Amino acid sequence: MKIELYQAETEKMCRLHQGVLDEARQRLEMGEHFSNMEKLGIIHALQVLIENAIGKAKHLLKIKQQVIPVSAYDVFQLLQQLNLISEIEKRQWDKTIGFRNTVVHEYMNVSEDIVFAIVRKQEYQFTLAFLNKPFEDF
């Protein structure tokens, strides 16, 4: 897949999931409750954004002719070593990947309070910014 097409599809996916998360944030602010299906949709939207960011990070390393690590933590560590992300961003990615790992591997331990805090604080904006940043800007 051409990198331009990959970026365009990533941005399209971002708009969709950002809309879901922004709507959830608005509803949380109004004190509304969510059905179980809606809660799962919110978690899924966060997971897909993170998964896509990990994929984009690997594409970025490939463009930079680097060996692609298996671990998502190591992928972002290498981005930081190459000065493509800052140390502060690296720490945020560690936290983000930790959340993703909980969703994927420890799904029975996903805290609704943590999910809603992520949405209320719009912590997903960090991931969206990475995904929407063109490859040539790294």
Long-range contacts formed by 35-44: CB under 8 A, 24+ apart: 39/112, 39/115, 42/115, 42/119, 43/103, 43/110, 43/115
Q: Is the pTM of this model over 0.85?
A: yes
| pLDDT surpasses 90 at 66 | yes
pLDDT, residue 1, reads 65
pLDDT in tens, 109-123: 899 999 999 999 999
pLDDT in tens, 21-51: 999 999 999 999 999 999 999 999 999 999 9
C-alpha–C-alpha distance, residues 90 and 65, integer Å: 20
Confidence band of 107 (pLDDT split at 50, 70, 90):
confident
C-alpha–C-alpha distance, residues 104 and 126, integer Å: 20
Instruction: Report, as an integer, the average pLDDT of 60-64.
Output: 96
| Domains, the chain, with CATH or none | 3-137 (1.20.120.580)
pLDDT, averaged across the chain: 95
